[in-house]
Structure 1
Amino acid sequence: MKLEVKNVTKKFNEKIAVNDFSIAINSGECVGLIGPNGAGKTTLIKIISDIMNPTSGEVLLDGKKISDMKKQIGYLPQYPNFFQWMTATETLFFMGQLSGLDKKELKTSIPKILSKVGLSGEENSRVSTFSGGMKQRLGIAQALLHKPSLILMDEPVSALDPIGRREVLNIIDEIKKDTTILLSSHILGDVEEICERLVIVKNGKKIEDTTMIGLLNRNSQNKIRIELSNDREDWIEHIKNLDYVKDVELTGNKLKVEVENIKVNKRMLLENALKHHVDIVKFEIANDTLEEIFLKMVVEK
């Protein structure tokens, strides 16, 4: 089941929320749509889920218009809104019937889906008694109830405390084995943990579409981070004069050494340290983190 977003633009009066956006997602992928607040992520998720119409462009699922394929889509909004007086079972039964599911089928599938999202034992508890994390898990349950081929999640963990976030991330990590997922977020650590592919959005435009490994490798630097157990000013001055060392940044006993060729020079630098009996606590390639790369892209561009 392939998702294709083709040249989608969405305008609100004079404001362009999504600007000529295109993406293709293949079956089984878990893709993270990341960007700062106001980048157009929620608008894009609503267009893909057919809640909102684009000003121009189209969305296809398996080559068909998204409006004809809604039964294949599961949608989790940032803040799932349920009737507080309903129980978990009643909520899913109501949602299932809205999706056209058979009553007999729902009686069988609801206990299974509640178990899958960690809500076994809460079947008859009212939604009003649920924590934020429990409501989010119930939201995932309703998104999964009709066994969709594609699940869209809008900021699924941004409003949760650390415990609730961990619970929901574990569930997403489990369900991505069985379905295609597109989730939006501005919490980079969460996306880095569960998504293999990243699409970065700024001002409604796609500015990057790559794998996690590809992005990190492309932004790697010829720098080595070294932490020493004690002060070795003599060795630091020595390496500053090595032909392959371009720069040395010193903070306490921590160094960041820029070299000409990381593959060749990292071994040479380590051998030099051992030769001079330098006591090393840490020796690692100093690649930029995802957060550092993200900030450069959305702030500096």
Structure 2
Amino acid sequence: MKLEIKNVAKAYKNKKVVNNFNMEMRTGECVGLIGPNGAGKSTLIKMIADIIKPDNGEIILNGTKITNMKKEIGYLPQYPAFYNWMTAKETLEFMGQLSCVKKAELTLRIPEILRKVGLHGAQNDKVGTFSGGMKQRLGIAQALLHKPSLVIMDEPVSALDPIGRREVLNIIQDIKKETTILFSTHILNDAEEICERFVVMKEGLKLEDTTTSQLIYRQNEDRLSLELATNDLVWIDIVKTLPYVKEVKVMGKRLEIMVENLSNNKKQLLSNAIEHNVDIMRFEIRRDTLEEIFLKMVVSE
């Protein structure tokens, strides 16, 4: 499987929502499309799913324009819509027929897919009785039903409570072993848990296309985090004068200290604290989380 997005653009009322976007995906990847609300993620997702057409550029799957490859795509919108009077089984039968899956195959496939998403015991229950998490799991089932080579998920857990969110994330963790996933979200903890690669969007533009480890390595600086038993202002003033200390941030009893060389300077700083009888509650190496790095990238000064 190879997805190619080439110079794709989309505007509404003369406002560019997606601007000359380029990206590639290959079999087995789980890519997080991340960005703040309004970054253009959902618009890009809908163009990849061929729900809306780009103004410029092209989207190609396995060498063929996406319009002719819709059977190879599974799509889970942020708010999947179902008929409340249908049962889960009836819903998947209906969705399967729309995807041109043969009836004999649906008979075998539906119990299997309901079991995979944890709804096998609710196959004869009406969708109107389902919780938000159950509807989202049914949405995943319909996206996987026709065995697509690419599954696209648009904010699949952002509207769920903590229990529903955890259930859906666990299912996604499981199915990503078998298929290629493009996972759109603005919740960075979810992206970090699920995805190995990240594409960062802001105002329709691609800011980054990288892995977690590369992003964290490139964006992080050497710093130490200390929590003191008391706000020892005298020692804090001493720390600021140390030749290997580049910057000190004071947040109550917690200090974040930027140093020149982490491996050497952490021992020197700890020795200095002991020398001045500083009562340290916690001493650790501090690295930015993905969320902190993301905020630095997308929040305007």
- Report the TM range for the smaller structure's normalisation: over 0.9
Q: Which residue of 1 aligns with 2:221?
A: 221
Q: Distance in 2 between matches of 1:43 and 1:84?
A: 27
Task: Give CA deviations for 1:58-79 in whole Å, capped at 9, x if unaligned.
Answer: 1111222112221111000111
RMSD over aligned Cα atoms: 1.8
| In structure 1, C-alpha distance between the alignment counterparts of 2:248 and 2:71, rounded to whole Å | 58
Verify the 8 A CA contact 1:40 1:203 in the aligned structure 2: yes
CA distance in structure 2 between the aligned counterparts of 1:250 and 1:44, rounded to whole angstroms? 42
Structure 1 residue aligned with 2:87: 87
- SS at the partner of 1:170? helix
- How far apart are residue 234 of structure 1 and its match? 5.2
Correspondence 1:260 to 2:270: no
Q: Deviations over 1:210-232 (max 9, x none)?
A: 11121122121232111134555
Match of 2:244 in 1: 244
Structure 1, gaps ≥5 residues long: none
CA contact (8 A) 1:219 1:287 kept: no
Q: What residue identity is the alignment partner of 2:85?
A: W
The Cα shift of 1:241 comes to 3.2
Letter in 1 for 2:184: S
Match of 1:74 in 2: 74
Query: TM-score, with normalisation over the residues of structure 1?
Result: 0.94
The structural deviation recorded for 1:260 is: 1.8
* Equivalent residue, structure 2, for 1:116: 116
**1:78 alignment partner AA:** Q
State the Cα deviation string for residues 70-124 of structure 1 (Å, max 9, x = none): 1111000111111111000000011111111111111111111001001121000
Change (3 A) 1:2 1:270: farther
Aligned residue-pair number: 301
Q: Which residue of 1 aligns with 2:294?
A: 294
Q: Which residue of 2 aligns with 1:270?
A: 270
Q: Distance in 2 between matches of 1:261 and 1:89?
A: 60
1:176 corresponds to which letter in structure 2?
A: K
Map Cα deviations across residues 234-272 of structure 1 (whole Å, 9 max, x no partner).
544443332212333333332111212223322332344
In structure 2, the gaps of 5 or more residues are none
1:299, 1:258 → 2: CA distance?
A: 22
Q: Does 1:40 align with 2:40?
A: yes
- Tell me which residue corresponds to 2:7: 7
For residue 61 of structure 2, what is the aligned residue in structure 1? 61
Deviates more, 1:251-260 or 1:108-117: 251-260
1:180 deviates by 0.7
Number of the residue aligned with 1:169: 169
Classify 1:274/1:33 alpha carbon distance in 2 versus 1 (closer, same or farther; 3 Å): same
1:125 corresponds to = 125
1:183-213 deviations in Å (ceiling 9; x for gaps): 1111111111111111111111111111112
| Amino acid across the alignment from 2:105 | E
TM-score by length of 2: 0.94
Displacement, 1:276? Answer: 5.3
> Hey, what does 2:150 align to over in structure 1?
150
